[in-house]
């Protein structure tokens, strides 16, 4: 059995997870800032900038902030202020890890497990942890309850079509139905099934 360790240290799209041919993925992850409540414990509001001394001191990966900003601008519009930046970084990280886990779960015949790095922090810092130093859950920890649930529906982007998948870790057979809809941002249903 192959075991894989990697983290998004060098830039590549989240979809690159699908290129790794291994059976068990161990210690993959993506960094994010911590919650604004935790930032308040060590930084005054004038220091709420990614390049301030205190924020860089609480980032132990020398390329971390620039990597995060690169990914952020690829997936979201530029945030209007620091609290929005913190929030979007949390969502970005959850999206990165979810992309990998959902792909591996859709391919359970070949992929038998995935563990993301890491659970908690030993001090308040930008990190890979999904629970911060003070025990506050980051967005990833909330999202992990869904993408590691025994029954998961996910969508694979096939380029010109989307594929809906259901992954089950349940030991018994389950009869269920799945409804879907493709909607505009205003809620107009374009297609459904």
pLDDT tens digits for 138-172?
Answer: 999 999 999 999 999 999 987 888 899 999 999 99
Distance CA 161, CA 17 (A): 20
Per-domain boundaries in the chain: 3-148, 150-193
**Could you tell me which CATH number the domain at 3-148 has?**
3.20.20.80
Question: Nearest Cα to 31, choosing from 75, 68, 85, 4?
Answer: 68
Distance CA 192, CA 181 (A): 4
CB of 128 within 8 A of CB of 119?
no
Distance CA 84, CA 130 (A): 18
Distance CA 48, CA 40 (A): 9
- Beta-ladder partners of 113: 24
Q: Residue 131 has what pLDDT?
A: 94
DSSP 75-137: HSPPPSSHHHHHHHHHHHHHHHHHHHHHHHHHTTTT--EEEES-SB-SSSSBBS-SB-TTSPB
Average pLDDT value over all residues in the chain: 87
- Whether the pLDDT of residue 8 is over 60: the answer is no
CB of 5 within 8 A of CB of 28?
yes
Distance CA 158, CA 155 (A): 9
pLDDT band at 2 (very low <50, low <70, confident <90, very high): very low
| pLDDT, tens digit, 9 for 90 and up, residues 52-99 | 999 999 987 877 788 888 889 888 998 999 999 999 999 999 999 999
CB of 2 within 8 A of CB of 113?
no
Q: Residue 11 has what pLDDT?
A: 61
**Residue range 16-38: mean pLDDT, rounded:** 84
Q: Residue 70 has what pLDDT?
A: 87
CB of 64 within 8 A of CB of 127?
no
The H-or-E segment that residue 152 falls in is strand 151-157
């Amino acid at each position: 059995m192959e075991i894989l360790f990697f983290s998004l240290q060098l830039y590549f799209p989240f979809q690159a997870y699908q290129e790794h041919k291994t059976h068990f993925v161990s210690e993959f992850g993506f960094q994010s800032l911590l919650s604004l409540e935790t930032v308040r414990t060590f930084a005054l509001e004038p220091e709420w900038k990614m390049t301030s001394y205190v924020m860089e001191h609480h980032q132990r990966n020398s390329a971390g902030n620039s990597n995060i900003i690169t990914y952020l601008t690829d997936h979201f519009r530029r945030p209007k202020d620091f609290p929005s930046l913190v929030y979007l970084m949390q969502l970005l990280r959850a999206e990165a890890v979810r992309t990998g886990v959902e792909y591996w779960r859709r391919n359970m015949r070949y992929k038998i497990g995935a563990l993301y790095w890491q659970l908690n922090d030993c001090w308040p810092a930008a990190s890979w942890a999904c629970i911060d130093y003070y025990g506050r859950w980051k967005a990833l920890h909330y999202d992990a309850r869904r993408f590691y649930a025994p029954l998961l529906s996910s969508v694979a982007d096939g380029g010109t079509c989307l594929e809906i998948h259901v992954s089950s870790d349940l030991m018994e057979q389950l009869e269920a139905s799945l409804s879907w809809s493709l909607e505009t941002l205003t809620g107009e249903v374009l297609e459904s099934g």
